[in-house]
Amino acid sequence: MTETEQPQHTAHHSTQPTQTAPSMPVAELVEARRAEAVLSEPVKVLLKDALGEGEAEGPSSVGRIYLASVAVTGFRGIGPRTWLNLSPRPGVNLVVGRNGSGKSSIAEGIETAFTGTNMRWHGLHASRSSNWRNLHLEDGAKPEIEVKLAIEGDTGRSTLTRTWESEDFGGSQAEFKRPGHGRVPLDQVAWKQAMEDYRPFLSYVDLDRMISGKPSEMYDAIATILGLRHLSAADSRLRAEEKVLEDAAKAAKAEVPELVDALYALEDDERAVQALLAIDTPGSPDFDTVEALVAGLPADTDEGLLAELRVAVAVQGPDMEQVAAAVVGLRKALADAEDVGGTSAEDAHQRADLLARALAHNDRHPDERSCPVCEADRVLDGEWAARAAAQIAVLRQEAKAADDAHSALRSAVRVLQDLVHRPQRIPTALTDPWDAWAACRTVSDPGELVGRAHEAAGTLADACAAVRENATRELEKRDERWRRLVTRLAGWAERARAAKESDPRLRDIRRARAWIKALSTELRERRMEGFADQSQRIWEKLRQESNIDLNGVSLRGSEKATVRKLVMDVSVDGQDASALGVMSQGELHSLALSLFLPRAVTADSPFGFIVIDDPVQSMDPAKVNGLAQVLHELGKHRQVVVFTHDTRLQRAFTSQELPVTVFEVERGKSSKVHVKPVTDPVRQAIGDARALASTKNLPEAARTHVLPSLCRIALENAFLEAAWVQHRRSGGSERDLHAAVADADKLMKMAALAFFGDIGRTDDVYRELRTRCGPRAVDLLKQCQNGAHATGARIADAHHFVDEIKDLAQKVRTAGVTK
């Protein structure tokens, strides 16, 4: 069947209340609420990151997925390749056939193609699935299921193919091919989680499991449809980070008591005291001080025993080699000074100067021979002058020797005294020996100095060595204890600082989680109320003559609670009762449908289709009529494919004049299965019109009003089908299309929607209709419109008119596809 022959849900008027269009998906709603929330920017960023991580990628993020066709080969009851061609858009499709015809094999083939599993065999022994491979598969052929998909916004079809290379049912391979995206394994396509949450397959076995499962499983099945997994996942991510930060802070805090006790054990170590003060700083630990202590940096204070020990370790007494050399030098200088005896350099200089003046006088008065001092006669002769000159030289040498000896002595004293030093800080134990050594600087007598200096220096050097050795041993002992503790202190400081620096983020995370919790509560209540209302509306249609009222559906517990269950409040003739205890099997299945259908049509589901197998079993005729009404309403927003052997469901659609597309499955020899279309909404309306035209003695009112009205229904459905195809290919949203269809209350608006995607362009419809379908098309359209007026339509040949409408409807459908 070509797409032009595919069914379309009808614009046929129904007395049943209409189902509202799907609401905004939670992800879109949450993002809108996040954008308008009064939150700090860091909190908004946290929410964006947490919510963004769970966003789906792949085809489900592009548009809804519809079934275009399914081809099954060698699977269960089907041997050679069998096709079921569907119209990939909203509408109800019935696939009928007797038991064993192969219809359930097609239904399960669709489920298996998507999931790789078959719920028929879920929880059963492996032997139950051992005969899944058809015995009549042609030689060389392999089991295969191929599903063609239409994804909103895509111009071409996507293909899902599942194949088997072995006899193992669980060993299949699935591949997905999408136009413009290439081929990928199915497990890389982003609908795996959605398939679990919004599973669009329902068989008779599933119906039974839905109302007989564990309370927690029933809770989870409904909770997921509220669409809050997106929020729950974001909260879980934030909670995980919050827990990491909280645990880190708690762990750092828990370390403090033991760390403090260990530091108190080193209370005589000023580093431990400083660390204690830094840890116990009001408001927040002084991490800089702690880390400086860990790094071994100098303390901020020079006081304390540890500082005194460090001074003692670093203390340096006199350099005994230098002192010894200085003492030797001083002693030599003293000896040299003693060698010159009592010679005074000044006296020697005076005597030499006196003789020099006498020689000078003699030189000036060579004739004088008498001494001018003692007046001795003829004593100042040449011999005297020679002796005087020699004596002057001796006196000069004696004076220089005396000068040199005393100068060397003074220098030796200075050298020794210069070795005396006094540090700024002196260990207490060295005070007296250092004072004795320092006093040597004030000793003026070289002889006294040489004795005292050597003794004081030796005493001080020995004392320094002893103090330094004792301090070193004490420091080593203290440092060993400190080293054992400092590793713990360093690790704690790193963890505690990181925890402290994370406080702002932790506060932001808590604010973000509070926002998510408040929004989740609001949405859960709102969505659960909507879900319960849908379930009650569906039940009201399915219950028909039942005296059981479904008063409410609610969730007890929470996703993380140990005890959680789905509560279905029912009453029998006004008396409260347990649903599972008072309902018949047919009523229980009706209740299961009331729970499943809202779940499958939630706005967050990427699947635009629902496949239901054998929903009619155990239902009485009244409930079958209600099921047809429910499916009709559902078909306004979803592609509904129902497989059934029970002819009552088809009759329920026909008898209530509800549009439906019907396929019949026939089984031949060697598992050859054939699927043929029986009718669709356009054919259904044309068939009704033709049956009316064939009525003998057809009343004039029926010819002028009823017949054109039936033909109008056929054209409405043809236009609607063309509108859906045009809108999907243009990439428009489904909500916009539903809104446009709801506003297209006239045939001309529906035609404008089909041709232009705009119900406001009714003035252009006749021109476009002539171009696409010929000049006669406008007259036929006007006659269908006139059937609703008081004058009616003038139809000369009823059969010919129906034939023309049939051709026009086919051209409209073709035009919608080929444009």
Written as six digits, the tokens of 271 are: 């580093």
Dump pLDDT digits (tens) for 583-642.
Answer: 677 677 777 788 778 877 777 788 999 999 888 876 777 778 888 888 998 898 899 999
Q: Where are the alpha helices (DSSP H) in 185-286?
A: 192-197, 204-212, 215-223, 229-264, 270-279
DSSP reduced 3-state for 150? strand
Written as six digits, the tokens of 777 are: 């098309």
**CA 93-98-104 angle, 5° bins:** 60
Eight-class DSSP state of 705? I
Convert 610-679 into a string of H (helix), E (strand) and C (coil): EEEECCCCCCCHHHHHHHHHHHHHHCCCCEEEEEECCHHHHHHHHHCCCCCEEEEEEECHHHCEEEEEEE
The answer for residues whose C-beta is within 8 angstroms of residue 204's C-beta and 6 or more apart is 589, 613, 614, 615, 617
| Residues 337 and 261 placed together within one structural domain of the fold | no
Positive or negative: CA dihedral 752, 758, 763, 767: negative
pLDDT value of position 4: 33
pLDDT value of position 677: 87
| Residues 778 and 706 placed together within one structural domain of the fold | yes
- The whole domain housing 250 covers 243-314+470-504
Residue where a domain terminates, one of 360, 392, 419: 419
DSSP string for 8-73: -------SSPPPPPP---HHHHHHHHHHHS---HHHHHHHHHHHHTT---SGGGTS-EEEEEEEEE
| Residues 363 and 330 placed together within one structural domain of the fold | yes
| Residues 308 and 324 placed together within one structural domain of the fold | no
| Residues 372 and 289 placed together within one structural domain of the fold | no
How many CB atoms within 10 Å of residue 400? 13
Residue where a domain terminates, one of 452, 483, 504: 504
Q: Which residues pair with 609 in a beta bridge?
A: 639
Answer whether residue 639 is part of any domain. no
Residue pair 178/170 in contact by the 8 Å Cβ criterion? no
Q: How many domains does the chain have?
A: 3
| Residues 306 and 338 placed together within one structural domain of the fold | no
pLDDT value of position 805: 92
Written as six digits, the tokens of 176 are: 């997905």
pTM > 0.75: yes or no: no
C-alpha 508/C-alpha 514 separation (Å) is: 10
| Residues 691 and 774 placed together within one structural domain of the fold | yes
pLDDT value of position 380: 62
Indicate the residue type of 809. Answer: A
CA of 82: how far to CAs of 74, 92, 251, 394, in Å? 9, 21, 65, 147
Residue where a domain terminates, one of 480, 504, 528: 504
Query: For residue 716, which of 9, 4, 2, 3 has the smallest C-alpha distance?
Result: 9
Answer whether residue 520 is part of any domain. no
End-to-end Cα separation, the chain, in angstroms: 19
Answer whether residue 566 is part of any domain. no
| Residues 699 and 743 placed together within one structural domain of the fold | yes
The answer for residues whose C-beta is within 8 angstroms of residue 553's C-beta and 6 or more apart is 222, 528, 531, 532, 535, 536, 566, 567, 568, 569, 595
Residue pair 715/808 in contact by the 8 Å Cβ criterion? yes
Residue pair 191/606 in contact by the 8 Å Cβ criterion? yes
Torsions phi, psi of 343, nearest 5? -60, 130
The answer for residues whose C-beta is within 8 angstroms of residue 250's C-beta and 6 or more apart is none
- Longest CA–CA separation in the chain, Å: 204
| Residues 809 and 705 placed together within one structural domain of the fold | yes
Eight-class DSSP state of 562? S
C-alpha 166/C-alpha 133 separation (Å) is: 10
Answer whether residue 298 is part of any domain. yes
Eight-class DSSP state of 345? H
Written as six digits, the tokens of 366 are: 């060579």
| Residues 387 and 291 placed together within one structural domain of the fold | no
Q: Tokens 């003026």 label which residue?
A: 444
Residue pair 551/203 in contact by the 8 Å Cβ criterion? no
Residue pair 553/595 in contact by the 8 Å Cβ criterion? yes
Answer whether residue 252 is part of any domain. yes
**pLDDT means over runs of 10, the chain (819 residues):** 35 36 65 85 88 52 83 92 92 90 91 86 58 79 93 88 89 91 86 81 73 69 68 85 91 86 78 82 81 67 62 81 85 77 58 67 62 57 70 66 72 82 82 88 85 87 86 72 77 86 92 89 78 79 73 69 70 66 70 78 84 80 83 91 88 82 90 88 87 88 89 88 76 69 81 87 91 90 86 88 92 66
Indicate the residue type of 9. Answer: H
Answer whether residue 726 is part of any domain. yes
Answer whether residue 741 is part of any domain. yes
pLDDT value of position 64: 86
| Residues 287 and 338 placed together within one structural domain of the fold | no
Answer whether residue 345 is part of any domain. yes
| Residues 331 and 303 placed together within one structural domain of the fold | no
Residue pair 179/158 in contact by the 8 Å Cβ criterion? yes
